[in-house]
Amino acid sequence: MADDDIILADLSDDELVLQMHDDLYDGLKEEIEEGVGILLARGWTPYHVLTKALVAGMTIVGADFRDGILFVPEVLLAANAMKGGMAILKPLLIATGAPRMGKMVIGTVKGDIHDIGKNLVAMMMEGAGFEVVDLGINNAVEKYLEALEREGADILGMSALLTTTMPYMKVVIDSLKEKGLRENYIVLVGGAPLNEEFGRAIGADAYCRDAAVAVETAKSFIARKHNALSA
């Protein structure tokens, strides 16, 4: 059957999720948006739609990009389709009236233009009641420092997806240290090529494997900070 003939609403949940992985791979934004709407209407939580349909689909794209089966233009289309789905989920993930947990400044580091994971973290943090200031991509150290001070932030979040850009996180942390500001902020880092050891080595407070871990980690550090202040 040709793709044109597939009626997404007629598919079972499992079939639809597989079809969405294909549609993401093919960069079909409208189909992804439709699929997201169908799963939500069937009672899926926004978080499950995000992880099972979108993030899992992007993992397949990533593997074929790595193996030279997909190239930048195709991956850009896939990323665009993913963003279409994320735009629908964003307001649903962002709880209304959640108590203010703290403020995070987040951005992708200098030299790096990957923003999907960072956007997901920002969304999930907002959903958990954090105020988030998103600096976007390609951030030099000065941009982080200015924003942290201007916003009176509690948390600095940095994202890097390239092995060549992840060392820049250390430049930012070292700069905070040099200015005597390091202890003022909880520094969380994330991105596919990082790991806990790297996080420790550059002097971050924690490495966060994914957006859900970022939320839990931020919550526990904020709770510790409040406890320390009230002791």
Q: How far, in Å, CA of 174 to CA of 58, rounded?
A: 33
Q: Residue 133 CB, nearest distance to ligand B1M (Å)? A: 13
The residue among 6 and 51 lying less far from ligand B1M, judged by its C-beta, is 51
Q: Residue 12 CB, nearest distance to ligand B1M (Å)? A: 25
Cβ partners under 8 Å of residue 50, min gap 6:
85, 86, 89, 93, 120
Q: Of 16, 94, 114, 154, which lies in the binding site for ligand B1M, with binding defined by CB under 6 A?
A: 114
Q: How far, in Å, CA of 13 to CA of 90, rounded?
A: 21
Q: Is residue 120 involved in binding ligand B1M (CB under 6 A)?
A: yes
* Span of 8-16, 38-46, 115-123, 139-147 interacting with ligand B1M by CB under 6 A: 115-123
Which of positions 56-75 make contact with ligand B1M (CB under 6 A)? 58, 61-62, 65-66, 72, 75
Q: Which amino acid is at 194?
A: L
Q: Residue 216 CB, nearest distance to ligand B1M (Å)? A: 11
The CA distances from residue 99 to 74, 103, 144, in Å, are 41, 12, 25
Q: Which residues of 130-142 are buried (b: 16+ CB within 10 A; e: fewer)?
A: bbbbbbebebebe
Do 129 and 99 touch, CB atoms closer than 8 A?
yes
Q: Of 8, 87, 181, 192, which lies in the binding site for ligand B1M, with binding defined by CB under 6 A?
A: 192
Q: Residue 122 CB, nearest distance to ligand B1M (Å)? A: 9
Three-state DSSP at 135 gives coil
Q: Is residue 210 involved in binding ligand B1M (CB under 6 A)?
A: yes
Q: How far, rounded to the nearest angstrom, does the alpha carbon of residue 114 sit from its chain's CA centroid? A: 10
Q: How far, in Å, CA of 118 to CA of 3, rounded?
A: 32
Q: Is residue 27 involved in binding ligand B1M (CB under 6 A)?
A: no
Q: How far, in Å, CA of 156 to CA of 148, rounded?
A: 7
Q: Residue 81 CB, nearest distance to ligand B1M (Å)? A: 11
| Number of residues forming the site for ligand B1M (CB under 6 A) | 37
Q: Residue 212 CB, nearest distance to ligand B1M (Å)? A: 7
Q: Residue 74 CB, nearest distance to ligand B1M (Å)? A: 8
Chain contacts with ligand B1M (rule: CB under 6 A): 55, 58, 61-62, 65-66, 72, 75-76, 79, 106, 111-118, 120-121, 157-159, 161-163, 188-193, 208, 210-211, 214
